[in-house]
Each structure stands twice: as C-alpha cells, then as structure tokens.
Structure 1
Amino acid sequence: MLGNFSYCNPTKLYFGDQSLQYLNTELPKYGQNVVLVYGGGSIKKNGIYDEVIEILKAKGKNVAEIAGVMPNPTLAKLYEGIEIARAHKADLLLAVGGGSVCDYAKAVSVSVNCSDDPWEKYFVRFEEPDCETIPVGCVLTMVGTGSEMNAGSVITNTEKKMKVGHVFSDEKIMPRFSILNPRYTLTLPHYQMVAGIYDIFNHICEQYFSGTDDNTSDYIAEALMKSVVHSSRIANKDSQNYEARSNIMWTATWALNTLIAKGKSTDWMVHMLGQAVGAHTNATHGMTLAAVSLPYYRHILPYGLAKFKRFAINVWGVSADGKTDEAVAEEGLKAMESWMRELGLAMSISELGATEDMIEGIAGATLILKGGYKVLDHGEIVKVLKESL
C-alpha cells in the first residue's frame, strides 16, 4: 500500500429499525434553534415527519423548516435555505431525507455565516469555509450517496447548466450524527431504489479503478461490490426484504465514507460525466451514472487492463482459463451490464432526455479529473457521450 495519509471520520452512526430513538440522545447536545430540512413531502405521507417533530417538541426545540429540497438541489434553493437558517439563528440543521437533502444541508451549513457567494467560493474556487459552520445531523430515508458519513455536497446551477460537487476537507462539515433506519427506505419506488443501488456500486468503482499497487482498500472494495450485487438481486425481486435493504444501506455508507479511498488516487470521471448529463436533463443521479458507465469503462479498459481483469475474476466470478487478459476484462464488463439490465437501470443518456445536440454542451460542462487510468481530453469525452446515447 503506497502513499501517506491520515484517516478520521467523526460521524456517529445509529443503525437499525429502532434507531430514531437516539435522536433523543443527540438533540440535547445542541442549542434550541433547529432547522428541519426535507424534500418533496414524502416524509409527511409515510409518518417520519410526525415522528421527528414529536421528538423535537419533546426536547423543547424551536423549529423552522426548509421544505421542498429537490433531488438535484439548485443554487436558488441554497440561497433560500441560507436566509431561513440565518433568520432562525440555527444551532442545528437536521436533514431528513436522502442524499440530496443531506448534501444540501451541508451547503447551507458552510454558507450561513459566510459573506462570500457560496457558488463562487465553494463550487467554482473550491475553497474551504473560513467562517463558523452550523452542525448537521441526518435522518436517512434513501440510500446511495453516502452523504450521511462524508463531507461532500453537490449543487446544481441551473443558469449555467452545471452540477458541481465539493468534498470538503474539514471534518467538521461531516454530519455530527446520522440515523440509519432501513425501514424508512422500504417505501421508495423501484426506480429510486435501483438508482440508489447503482450509485453505491459506482462510488466503489470510482475508487477501485485507480492505482496499480497491492492495496488493502481494493480488497475491501471488492467485498462491498459483491455485497451490493448479492443484496440488490434480492431487493429487486422483493423490495420489502429487510435484510437485503439493511445490507444495502450499510454498504452505501461504507462505499463513500472515505475509507476505501485511502492509499488511492481515485477516478470519479463517471460522476463528472453523469453530473454534466444531470445538469442538462435533471435526471436522477444514479441513472445518469448507469447510462455513461459502460462506454467510459470500455474506453479506459486498455489503460487499466490488470484491474479490469481482477474486477472480472474477483467480483463477477469470471474464469480466466484459456483466455487473454482482454477477453477476461471484457467478460467482466458484460457481466456488469447483465446485472444492470436485470435491475432495470437506464443504459443510455437518451433514455434520460439527452439528445445529440446537447453533447457539446454536456462535454463542456464535464470537469476533467486526473486520478484514473486515462486522462480524457474534450474529444474523448464527446466520444464517450456519443456512445452513451
């Protein structure tokens, strides 16, 4: 394992079907003014809102709300939330929802006491906060992003048609606590469930497909990928299978809490491509990743052949007997494609509303990163996107 690194993750997790009770343990640690952050209202339909409000009132909290956080949180919505949190003099931002709600709460957290424009400061210049941040807690209702245990935040600027993520380096941006009740995920529509499952899987891939050394992180990544594939097949047939859904939820957290990135350069180009597609179509995040993944991986396969061969053998059980390395690696991607189709994932960006005349714009909005096996130029990005249509 090469390189030098430090590792610290301060987020406290409460897991299980009785985990919401631990909100009673956490709330006394913070001041009286709580801002409840949530999405389109599903938590009111399924009863989670009432459960959370009851606990907040029992603890004597003064509650304000930021409702209507969309799946791809916009800059305009961020500005709205900043003003609500400022007016309420928030002591805690409590995000109740999926990854987008958690991402959004972190963006509000670093912006409330900052005089700079948050888009320019955090999503253009990628600076760290130099102001007091507001603590964030999460009650997770949808899995996929891993936002419940990391310092990442993604915001969409609809005017510029840019969707940009910033993974903050300051540990205080991570949620102070996260409550993970797998039962809260059981009411998700199938489309959202499988999109989240692929988001998990691709988070692992983004970290796995980099580096050439013998790295412990890769062994952990392979086990996590196998767990996702196994549990996803059960959940795809029976979405109410608690054991499968709980395993998916736990894997999602470990897929992106920075553990398996240690000692790695990491890639993240699938996310850059997918986020650019999402900025132009407003499509579901996990589906944009699914639609661009295979064309991208087939493009970089020759440059990371040894890892793609290992992926085929260790994750998908491909036999290498009598086959070239290239044949084994390609068979692994075919197995991955078969699994993706089995789940019902989007396999092209045209399914998500992208058209050929959008390609140049999407390519121009795609950030180019250098951690993977091949640094793409603009022409290669256009090629991958066209193969994703």
Structure 2
Amino acid sequence: MLGNFSYHNATKLYFGDDSLQYLNEELPKYGKTVQLIYGGGSVKRNGIYDAVVEILKANGKTVVEDAGVMPNPTVEKLREGVRIARENHVDLLLAMGGGSCCDYAKAVSVSVHCDDDPWEKYYVRFEEPDCEIVPVACILTMAGTGSEMNAGAVITNHEQKLKIGHVFGEEVMPKFSILNPKFTFSLPKRQMVAGIYDIFNHICEQYFSGEDDNTSDYLAEALMRSVVHSSLIAVENPEDYEARSNIMWSATWALNTLISRGKSTDWMVHMLGQAVGAVTDATHGMTLAAVSLPYYRTIMPYGEKKFARFATEVWRVNPEGKSDRELAEAGLEALENWMKQIGVAMNITELGASEDVIEDIADATIILDGGYKVLTRDEVVRILRESL
C-alpha cells in the first residue's frame, strides 16, 4: 500500500432482525425533540413508522414530522427541513428510509445553525460547517448508498440542473444507525436492484485506480463477489433473509471509507450518473448502471492490468491463453451480463434522456482526476452518446 492515511469511523451500528429495539438504548442520550424524517409513506404502509413512533413516545420524545423526502432530495426540500428544525429547536434528526433520507438529514444537520444558504455554502463554495451540528441517526429501509455510515450528502438543484455531493467530516456522520434486513423486504424489485448496482459501483469507483499491491483491492474484490452472489438470490427471492442481509452489510462497507484507504479512487461514473440524474431525476443506481459500461470501455486501455484482474478475481474468467486486453474485455462482458440478469437500466434513453439533453448533462458533469484517465469534455459527450 502506498501513501499515508488515517481511519476513524464514528458511527455505531445495530444490525439484525431485532436491531430496532436498540433505539431504546440510544434515545436517552439526546434531547426531547426528534425530527422524524421519511419519504413517501411506505414506512407507514409496512408498519415501520408505527413501531418507531411507539418507541419514541415510550422514551418521552416530542416527534416533529418531516415527510416527503424525494429520491433525489432537492434544495427546496433541504430549506424546508432546515426551517422545521429551527422552528422546533430539534435535538436529533432521525432519518427513516434509504440513502436519500440519510443524505438529506446530514445536509439539514449542518445547516440548522448556519446563517448562509446551504446550497451556496456547501454545494457551490464547498465550505465545511463552522456552526453547531444537529446529531443524525438512521433507520435504514433500503440498502445501497452506504449513507448510514458515512458523511456524504447529495442534493439536487433542478433550476441549475445540478446534482452535487458533499462529503463532510466525521462529525456529520450518523451517531448510530439501525440496519434490519427485513425492513428492505417490501421494496419494489426495481428499487432493490438499483440499490444493488449502487453498492457494486461504489466498490468499482474505489477499485479502478492505482497499480500497487493494495489490501483495499482484495477487500473490494471480496465485497463485489458477495454482492453478485447475493443479488442473484435476492432477484429470485426478495425475502431471502441471508441474501438481503449480505447485501445490506456489503452496502455499508462499500462506502464507509474503509476500502478507499491507500487509494486514489475514481468516482467518474458517479459524476456522469449524477449529471444524468440532475437532468432526468432518474433513480440514482439506474443512472450509474446506464453510463458505466461506456465509461469503463473508455478508460480500460489506461488501466488494463486492473481490468484484467477484475475479470479473473471477481468474475472468475479463466486467464489461460488470454492477453490482459482479452481478459479486461471479458471482465466487462461478464459485468454487462450480470447487469442484464438483475435488470438494471442499460442506457439513459430508458431513463428519459435523449440527444437533445446531452449537452446539458455534459455541462452538469464534474470531471475528476483520480482514475486511470482524466476525461476531456469531448470524451464526456461521447460517453453520454454511447449511453443512449
């Protein structure tokens, strides 16, 4: 491993089908007023909402409702959440849902006691919080983003056609997160597989960089194999507890910064996918899937040995008689076959994009330099066209 790094993860996790009971242990550590954050109401239909509210009331908490968090949380919703938190002097932000709810809660947490507009401060100027931060906790109902154990918060500005993530410091990470795999059983299949691809791509973003012998890469390969194996089971039987629990646990470790240690990391698939999402408002995991293969085929010649390793170590492609280029191409073919098998989006056309918006998506794409190839704008446009 090359370079120097530090590692500290401040989030406490409670995992398993009895994990919700541990909310009773954590709530006494916080003040009286809890802002309960959730999305479109599925948590009410499946009974999770009632169970959580019952525990909150049993612990003497005043519950302030903050419903309607959308799959790609908007700057307008963020400002609404900040207003709710300020007016009610909340002591804890409890996000109940998937990554969007968790991301949103973190964005609210750093904005409540700051006078600046949160979009300008955190997503345009990329400043760090210089004010009191309201603590965040998560009850996860969808596996994918890893937001339950990291400090990232992605917000969408439709007016500016931008979708931007800010990774804050460890003080913004959830204080605790509750992960019950059974809470993910009621997800529609399309949401489940979008989350699965999000997990897989988080790992790829950290894997496809560097050429050193890095322990993080070995961890990444094991996680990818686990995701592939469990995904095929879950697609056939969404209520297979073992498969769903492995997917949930892999999602957390895919993006809690562990496998990025000693790595430069890439993240261009996310930059492309988030730009597609900013223009189309499509589901995050699906936008990643739709742009992945054209991007990887563009950068593969510059990281050929790692792509060849990806083929042999993740997909078990037989290397006998094959060059690195042939192995690399076989690995991407195996990735494509798996993506089709689980049913993710294979192009941005099915997500609502067309040739007419390619330039807008390119304008919204932030170009990073951590991977094997720094893209030009022309290459961004070409990849997007190949993704149609």
Q: Distance in 2 between matches of 1:36 and 1:239?
A: 27
Q: Distance in 1 between matches of 2:45 and 2:238?
A: 19
Q: Which residue of 2 aligns with 1:86?
A: 86
User: For 1:174-193, what aligned pairs fall within 5 Å after superposition?
Assistant: 174-193=173-192
Q: Which residue of 2 aligns with 1:324?
A: 323
Q: Distance in 1 between matches of 2:367 and 2:345?
A: 23
2:128 aligned counterpart, secondary structure: coil
Q: Which residue of 2 aligns with 1:362?
A: 361
**Residue 272 of structure 1, CA deviation:** 0.3
**Residue 323 of structure 1, CA deviation:** 1.2
Q: Distance in 1 between matches of 2:280 and 2:234?
A: 28
Count of aligned pairs between the two proteins:
388
1:126 partner letter: F
Q: Which residue of 2 aligns with 1:162?
A: 162
Q: Which residue of 1 aligns with 2:50?
A: 50
What value does the CA root-mean-square deviation take over the aligned residues? 0.4
1:309 aligned counterpart, secondary structure: helix
**Residue 127 of structure 1, CA deviation:** 1.1
Gaps of 5+ in 1: none
Gaps of 5+ in 2: none
Q: Distance in 2 between matches of 1:322 and 1:43?
A: 53
1:223 aligned counterpart, secondary structure: helix
Q: Distance in 2 between matches of 1:45 and 1:380?
A: 45
- Scaled by the length of structure 1, the TM-score of the pair is 0.99
Q: Distance in 1 between matches of 2:371 and 2:44?
A: 42
**Residue 91 of structure 1, CA deviation:** 0.6
Q: Distance in 2 between matches of 1:124 and 1:319?
A: 47
Deviation string, structure 1 residues 314-359 (Cα, Å, up to 9, x no partner): 0000111111110110000000000000001100000100000100
1:346 partner letter: A
Deviation string, structure 1 residues 89-128 (Cα, Å, up to 9, x no partner): 0110000000000000000000000011111111111111
Deviation string, structure 1 residues 188-209 (Cα, Å, up to 9, x no partner): 0000000000000000000000
Q: Distance in 2 between matches of 1:325 and 1:139?
A: 44
User: For 1:1-389, what aligned pairs fall within 5 Å after superposition?
Assistant: 1-168=1-168, 170-389=169-388
Q: Distance in 2 between matches of 1:324 and 1:223?
A: 24
1:153 aligned counterpart, secondary structure: strand
**Residue 62 of structure 1, CA deviation:** 1.0
Q: Distance in 2 between matches of 1:31 and 1:238?
A: 41
Deviation string, structure 1 residues 52-73 (Cα, Å, up to 9, x no partner): 0000000000110110000000
2:314 aligned counterpart, secondary structure: helix
Q: Distance in 2 between matches of 1:352 and 1:215?
A: 36
Q: Distance in 1 between matches of 2:367 and 2:166?
A: 14
Q: Give the % identical residues.
A: 73
Q: Distance in 1 between matches of 2:101 and 2:19?
A: 19
**Residue 5 of structure 1, CA deviation:** 0.5
1:316 aligned counterpart, secondary structure: coil
**Residue 31 of structure 1, CA deviation:** 0.4
1:370 aligned counterpart, secondary structure: coil
Q: Distance in 1 between matches of 2:248 and 2:29?
A: 26
